[in-house]
Amino acid sequence: MTPSEGARAGTGRELEMLDSLLALGGLVLLRDSVEWEGRSLLKALVKKSALCGEQVHILGCEVSEEEFREGFDSDINNRLVYHDFFRDPLNWSKTEEAFPGGPLGALRAMCKRTDPVPVTIALDSLSWLLLRLPCTTLCQALHAVSHQDSCPGDSSSVGKVSVLGLLHEELHGPGPVGALSSLAQTEVTLGGTTGQASAHILCRRPRQRPTDQTQWFSILPDFSLDLQEGLSVESQPYSDPHIPPVSKNAKARTRKCSLVSGQGRENKSCRGWGWGQGF
């Protein structure tokens, strides 16, 4: 393979990963930590959406606009619509361009769009919002904006909506994290080993079992991805962590119960949850 062919193959793998994260639309939840930051991946996805011709809105709450735009070339920056809630999150200056109601008002306003052009909304960050808003209020707004292109009975042709939410998982308890996770069509948990980042990607497709895979990568200064060849793990059926696996002993007891019940006898040692309790 020549160097140019290798570069094209690398670009193809990069696009494949980014495409897979954006393909389902809806909420894409990026779960990072102090050790493995997620803003760089958020900006890589923003760049990908902008290059695809989508409308890209940034709700910037956690860092300044200058810091977020740093590293993008002028072409990408010109395509971004930046809503700055970092300098004046409560709109004390009463500027006309600000959304009434702050970031939540901006999200609700985007629920009313009728544009057929696909749109990507980047929330930097979901943690900032979650620390200042009731979890149920934020989840309702996220559900409304990320599902507006699939509302039953709605005849308007609204383009696909992707909401990219950066979540600093260590700042929140399991309840809020679980609530946001249940809303996400795609969930990315960042981790890795010394000097090498990984993304555990969970995809939930309608009427299909969720699948997950792990991809090792690094992010270049221009927010392109450098994927590590041979380190990705193929998609596998996903087991819900909230449903405990059935052990071999439990399976054996279940089989024994079925055999005994088939002979018309009851084995009391087989009784488990709900047996003889009126359930």
**Residue 183 is part of a domain; what is its CATH number?**
3.40.50.300
Whats the size of the chain, residue-wise?
A: 279
Characterize the bridge pairing of strands 211-219 and 196-203.
antiparallel
pLDDT for the residue numbered 134: 95
In-domain check, residue 239 = no
* End-to-end CA separation in angstroms for the chain: 64
Consecutive 10-residue averages of pLDDT for the chain (279 residues): 42 72 93 96 96 94 96 96 83 60 84 83 96 94 80 59 96 96 96 89 89 92 84 50 43 42 42 35
In-domain check, residue 266 = no
What is the rounded distance in angstroms from the CA atom of residue 14 to the CA atom of residue 228? 10
pLDDT for the residue numbered 132: 92
The DSSP code for 259 is H
In-domain check, residue 245 = no
Q: For residues 61 and 86, is the Cβ–Cβ distance under 8 A?
A: yes
In-domain check, residue 273 = no
Structure tokens at 29: 């939840």
Q: Which of 79, 69, 86, 119 is nearest to 223 (CA)?
A: 69
pLDDT for the residue numbered 89: 64
In-domain check, residue 253 = no
Type of residue at 101: G
In-domain check, residue 86 = yes
In-domain check, residue 277 = no
Q: For residues 166 and 32, is the Cβ–Cβ distance under 8 A?
A: yes
Type of residue at 176: P
DSSP H/E element including 216: strand 211-219
Based on the structure, what is the number of domains in the chain?
A: 1
What is the rounded distance in angstroms from the CA atom of residue 129 to the CA atom of residue 80? 21
What φ, ψ does residue 242 adopt, rounded to 5°? -80, -10
pLDDT for the residue numbered 115: 78
pLDDT for the residue numbered 207: 85
Beta bridge partners of 186: 28, 203
pLDDT for the residue numbered 90: 61
In-domain check, residue 63 = yes
pLDDT for the residue numbered 182: 94
Q: Domain containing 23: what range? A: 13-211+220-228
Give whole-number Cα distances, 174 to 80, 181, 204, in Å: 33, 10, 20
